[in-house]
Amino acid sequence: MNEYQEWAKETLTKVREKMAWVIEKNKEKIPYTTDENGSYDDRSDPNREWGPDDGLNWWTNGFWGGICWLLWQDTKEPLYEETARKSWKKMERCFTDYLGLHHDVGFMFLPTAVADYRLTGNADAKRVGMHAANLLAGRFNPAGGYIRAWNDIPGSDTRGWAIIDCMMNISLLYWASEESGDPRFRQIAVTHADTVRKHFIRPDGSACHIVEFDPETGACVKSHGGQGYGEGSSWTRGQGWAVYGFADSYAHTGKKEYLYTAKQAAHYCIANIPESGILPVDFRQPEEPAWEDSCGACVIAGGLLEVARHVPEAEQGIYVRAAVKLLRAIDTSRADWTKGCDAIVQNCSPAYHDCPHHITMSYADYYFIEALCKLAGTGIFLW
């Protein structure tokens, strides 16, 4: 066992100790963030009035079940299996409402229903996963070759918008193609990835968050700053989606240009990681205000470890060392291991310009735990 594996296994011990009571406390919920008392909210609460894209349709809802499946693989504790399955069964109601769903059905159902099918053979979970994949495929615009992001946003014409985040959602399409034998899903995923590679990734390896296309002709119109600092900047979490997403596309297709692009984006990240290992919301943001995004750090760490999985052993060190630097910074200075907060990872920021900043987000915990499992060599690849 190398030193990184040993450290990861030690840290996973702390994760198991904390999550045992966290999941017991929140087993009826689908949480996103914590309140001022450190307690998780519940996006599945039927007594609260939600907007069309919130509540059960909230895009991060799959990560709670994902955390449970990661822990179930590690411990075989029945509570984790039951809680994970309960979450996707609740979310299945989103199919009936339909209008609140968008490109993030991959994030919602891949680490929940699809993970259930992969791990347990649950045929009903496969049905739900295939339903989600068909919805995602239906958002593909052949003019431009991209999957449309979001639904209508008041004040903006989003019909031609695509976003870097969707590099992770298309994993659902790769799975659907592999599972069904139908190449259409894979063809949509590959076409989208090719479009992102051409229009989102800059020569220095940095990534745009949003690129707008003419929805009728497919012509590239412009890029938008999105959740980063501004147009032409480098939103940290978006860099993570680029690294991880292209490495994942390589894993599913074997197309070497995807691995090259993942490495290109990875080296940009590595070159910009500060000595502290604490990442800003945007790699190109001004010094003040010094907003952080621990979630971006966890996503990038997971992506770096995925790149390392696909390169020769002699090349792996640069990616693994950078990932461990980010994860250790979280463990030592941005993690809450007490019972004062339901979440582990602290100081996450959804976007540079939007409040709030430095909150907890369930998917930060997911990517933190997943990265530790990768280092420790436990669990199957969920994406």
Q: Which domains does the chain have, with CATH numbers?
A: 3-376 (1.50.10.10)
Which pLDDT does position 1 carry in this prediction? 52
Mean pLDDT of 79-100: 96
Mean pLDDT of 81-97: 97
Strand partners, 56: none
Which pLDDT does position 177 carry in this prediction? 98
Q: How far is CA 56 from the centre of its chain?
A: 17
Element (H, E) at 54: none
H helices of the chain, in order, are 3-25, 62-75, 78-91, 93-97, 105-109, 115-120, 123-137, 166-169, 171-180, 183-199, 236-253, 256-272, 294-310, 313-333, 362-376
pLDDT over 70, % of the chain: 100
The model's pLDDT over 154-199, given as tens digits with 9 standing for 90+, comes to 888 999 999 999 999 999 999 999 999 999 999 999 999 999 999 9
Which pLDDT does position 306 carry in this prediction? 97
Which pLDDT does position 139 carry in this prediction? 98
Give Cβ neighbours of residue 364 (< 8 Å, ≥ 6 apart).
294, 295, 298, 343, 344, 345, 348
Which pLDDT does position 51 carry in this prediction? 85
Mean pLDDT of 10-37: 98
Give Cβ neighbours of residue 2 (< 8 Å, ≥ 6 apart).
none
Which pLDDT does position 382 carry in this prediction? 87
Which pLDDT does position 53 carry in this prediction? 86
Confidence of residue 381 (pLDDT cuts 50, 70, 90): confident
Give CA–CA dist 59/100, Å, rounded.
10
